[in-house]
Structure 1
Amino acid sequence: MIDTMQNTVASPDGEHIEIGAGSDLYVFDSTMTASFFSAALTLGALVGTLSGGPIAERTGRRIALIIAGPLNVVAFLIIALCQNVAALIIARLIAGFSMGICSFVCSVYISEVSPTRLRGLLGSCTQLLMGLGILLVYILGAVCRTDGGSLDPLATSWTFCRWRLVSYICLIPGAVLTVAMFFAPETPRWLATRGKLEAAEDTLCRLRGVDHPDDPRIADEVRALEDIVESQTKRSGGLSDMKRRFDILWHCPKQVAI
């Protein structure tokens, strides 16, 4: 994909193959610019991962994912349509930011809505599906190819990656996530940390398929929610809460460095 964007595709013999006049696939005129485009995703993901926790704590896990979904859609739409190099790099930053939020918040959301016996299994699916998604994009890059209108005799129909088409396809997961989260509940744990015990119990009943929070099948989980509300009430606004927040902020830079 990057080779196509900077027109550095080579034949098996090492000879340069021109992408052809009039193609909108060639956008980068230097390796440095292409490198910035490639690195922007990682930089955005770093910021998104660090921001995901505070966003999810303040707005809720569900809202955090609703924020991340449209950002992903907008980013890939810009990449698919735009010719401006600066806009493409900014779009990659936005895409990385969205992916960083999702990589953090999805794991938290799944762990907080899953039954205890399935929590480990469902939690591991996040990384598995991320890996499968990366593999799928590589496959799309291999399938979505064109000669780009090139008249070079070395060019074939498999020479240049139609990365704009791939970007359009990458819109789909973000759109699906956004729509799906509008119908998904907030996690019971987050509701409990906000003192909304009744809403937390109702959501837990909905997730577990029971009619009432007194159902013995969810007794342990209801008790855990009550403990969360009680602990939040005791420490809210106190010195211990301030110390805990300071400790978290103090250790974050060290974790990033490691």
Structure 2
Amino acid sequence: HSAVSWVSAVPPLGAFCGSLMTGPFLQRFGRKKTLMLAAPIFSVAWIIIGTAVNTPMLIIGRLVTGVCAGIVTPSAQVYVSECAHPEIRGVLGSLPALFMAMGVLISYVIGTWLPWDYLALVSALFPASMLVFLFPLPESPSWLKSVGRKDEAAKSSQWLHHDDKVVAVELATIPVSNGDVETPTSIAEVEKKPETTMNSKKDVVKGAYSADALLRRPVVIPFYLVVCILIFQQVSGIDTILFYTVSIFQASGSPVNDYLATILVGLVQVIATFMSLFVIDRYGRKPLLVFSGVFMAISMAALGYYFYAHDRDLPIVKSLGLLPVISLMVFIAAFALGYCNVPFLLMGELLPVAQRSILSSIASAFNLGAMFVVIKSYHDIKDWIGSEGVFWGYAVLCVTSCVFVITLLPETKGKSLEDIERYFERKAEKILEKKRMNMGMP
């Protein structure tokens, strides 16, 4: 158990470290260059895994892939969210989750026929292809303007939207790092404005990352919401399911072939994630999260009941042979429709642009830290309270997440990033006003 759990848990541990590096990288190098820096290292790490001759070499390779994943995941989400138009931001913001689901399915399918070391070498091709596809793309207009490169921001926005009016509106609603909003009336006007000097750029960035700026209520409130949603994503049990799918099926004693069932689970994840592209901007973020949480809770409760009956040799278990497969397929489908992509989309939407680089890095660290704890502790908790206790615990946490979303999370569908920032500014003002009234202050 110890060796298996460490090999499984090392990637999220590395991802935790990588996510802490992401904020400085995003701010210093930009969104695109950060992704391009991580891609070749990602490929090399997979080659190390594929050519590993001992356990330490394998663990090092897994650790480095984790570090790269910790950098790439938030960077890609922030990049997409900042480049996309509000009307299609939900769809484009869900694409990283779709491609991750496709990657999981491909690894399941190839892993059925190829040894793990050959699978690792095949995996090295994907980060390399990412590097190639990134070359012709522009940098994020939000980041370019935040560091004072306004003419480049205008050109980037023009490349993305091909519409002067859209470009002017977008640049008018992108705050610079000190929180001010400039209001150009056309792309030509933007290009005429002089560049910010290097010293003022540094001052602006320092101001945005000062303790006073980071601890303001309009910054703390969305950060708190994002961190909670990202933690709920992990404690739903998703990575326990994805990392231990085959062993869960083997332990269940289900008559369905273990590897076939695993491929079916991966296929369902891809289909459901693809379907989410068509509903996320139609129904909004909150309904999808609640729907996702409810059905994940039901499926985990059902899987827990199966293991309860199986471990006690109850007669009913003979008629429940398909329940593990059905439960996991429902769980994966429900996760893919909501908690797979919405939390990362919210990270790109809720966090204020001036502090987005550093806060997305810290939020991802919380997410990956939770992933490490969940994966590393799975076997120990299972030995302590049984498989049914583990899955019932996940069910309770999924229900808790639904309550959190319904009561605290604002809807962001169709809103510009500036509108979202203004919402939290108003919310912070209301909290302060209520606090003053309670204290009897004018």
1:98 aligns with 2:68: yes
Match of 1:23?
Answer: none
Match of 2:138?
Answer: 185
Match of 1:219?
Answer: 168
1:82 Cα offset (Å): 2.1
Matching residue's letter, 2:121: Y
In the TM superposition, 1:14-33 aligns within 5 A as 32-33=2-3
Match of 2:395?
Answer: none
Distance in 2 between residues matched to 1:163 and 1:38, nearest whole Å: 14
1:243 aligns with 2:191: no
Match of 1:167?
Answer: 120
1:120 aligns with 2:69: no
The correspondence for 2:15, drawn from 45, 58, 61, is 45
1:231 aligns with 2:200: no
In the TM superposition, 1:190-201 aligns within 5 A as 190-201=143-154
Matching residue's letter, 2:166: R
1:219 Cα offset (Å): 2.6
After superposition, the Cα gap between the structure-2 partners of 1:85 and 1:181, relative to the gap in structure 1 and judged at 3 Å, is same
Match of 1:61?
Answer: 31
Deviations along 1:51-71, one digit per CA (max 9) or x if unpaired, are: 323321221111110121112
Distance in 2 between residues matched to 1:240 and 1:120, nearest whole Å: 28
TM-score, normalization by structure 2? 0.42
After superposition, the Cα gap between the structure-2 partners of 1:107 and 1:206, relative to the gap in structure 1 and judged at 3 Å, is same
Matching residue's letter, 2:33: I
1:111 aligns with 2:60: no
Q: Which runs of 5+ in 1 are unaligned?
A: 1-30, 145-161
Matching residue's letter, 1:70: P
Matching residue's letter, 2:13: L
Distance in 2 between residues matched to 1:240 and 1:74, nearest whole Å: 33
Matching residue's letter, 1:244: A
Over aligned residues, Cα RMSD in angstroms?
3.0
Distance in 1 between residues matched to 2:51 and 2:147, nearest whole Å: 42
1:238 Cα offset (Å): 4.6
The correspondence for 2:43, drawn from 58, 73, 76, is 73
Higher RCO (CA-CA < 8 Å; seq separation 6+) = 2
Distance in 1 between residues matched to 2:209 and 2:6, nearest whole Å: 43
Distance in 1 between residues matched to 2:61 and 2:153, nearest whole Å: 37
1:72 Cα offset (Å): 1.0
Q: Secondary structure, in 3 states, of the residue corresponding to 1:217?
A: helix
Kept in 2, the 8 Å contact 1:197–1:229? The answer is no
Matching residue's letter, 1:168: L
1:86 aligns with 2:56: yes
Q: Secondary structure, in 3 states, of the residue corresponding to 2:139?
A: coil
After superposition, the Cα gap between the structure-2 partners of 1:135 and 1:240, relative to the gap in structure 1 and judged at 3 Å, is closer
Distance in 2 between residues matched to 1:239 and 1:185, nearest whole Å: 24
Kept in 1, the 8 Å contact 2:154–2:167? The answer is no
Bigger fraction of residues in helix: 2
Q: Which runs of 5+ in 2 are unaligned?
A: 181-199, 225-361, 371-442
Matching residue's letter, 2:173: A
Distance in 1 between residues matched to 2:32 and 2:76, nearest whole Å: 9
The percentage of aligned residue pairs carrying the same residue is: 30
Distance in 2 between residues matched to 1:141 and 1:196, nearest whole Å: 46
Kept in 2, the 8 Å contact 1:46–1:100? The answer is yes
1:169 Cα offset (Å): 0.8
Q: Secondary structure, in 3 states, of the residue corresponding to 2:148?
A: coil
Matching residue's letter, 1:217: V
- The worse-fitting range, judged by mean Cα deviation, of 109-118 and 129-138 is 129-138
Kept in 2, the 8 Å contact 1:53–1:104? The answer is no
The correspondence for 1:206, drawn from 145, 149, 159, is 159
Distance in 2 between residues matched to 1:102 and 1:216, nearest whole Å: 32
Kept in 1, the 8 Å contact 2:177–2:208? The answer is no
1:50 Cα offset (Å): 3.1
After superposition, the Cα gap between the structure-2 partners of 1:55 and 1:229, relative to the gap in structure 1 and judged at 3 Å, is closer
- The worse-fitting range, judged by mean Cα deviation, of 82-91 and 227-236 is 227-236
Distance in 1 between residues matched to 2:57 and 2:14, nearest whole Å: 14
